[in-house]
Amino acid sequence: MSVFGLVPVRVEVVQEGSRKSLRLRKGDRIDDLLEKLGINRETVLVRLNNKVCVEEEILREGDKVEIIKAISGG
């Protein structure tokens, strides 16, 4: 438990072949995760536990978040 009494939520983030484990605040949504990663939600699609979803979903312990690039260059 952190000093502020917040229980962190751990999620697995998969992005362009790389995967990492991140700690978020309880109640954080996909929106918040993207913001923290510096990703504009207009440029990606997100799969939560293998299902495409909206960015308003609240993340829970153990969730797998796959970030797919929706815009292409060239």
Q: Which of 54, 61, 62, 64 binds another protein (CB under 8 A)?
A: 54
Pairing of strands 18-24, 51-53: unpaired
Closest CA to 56 of 30, 23, 28: 30
Contact 55, 45 (CB under 8 A): no
Q: What, of ligand SF4, another protein, none, does residue 45 touch, CB below 5 to 8 Å by kind?
A: another protein
Q: Which is nearer to another protein, 25 or 41 (CB)?
A: 41
CA torsion sign for 64, 61, 26, 19 is negative
Nearer to another protein, 5 or 16 (CB): 16
Nearer Cβ to ligand SF4, position 5 or 73? 73
Give the binding site for another protein (CB under 8 A). Answer: 40-43, 45, 51-57, 68-74
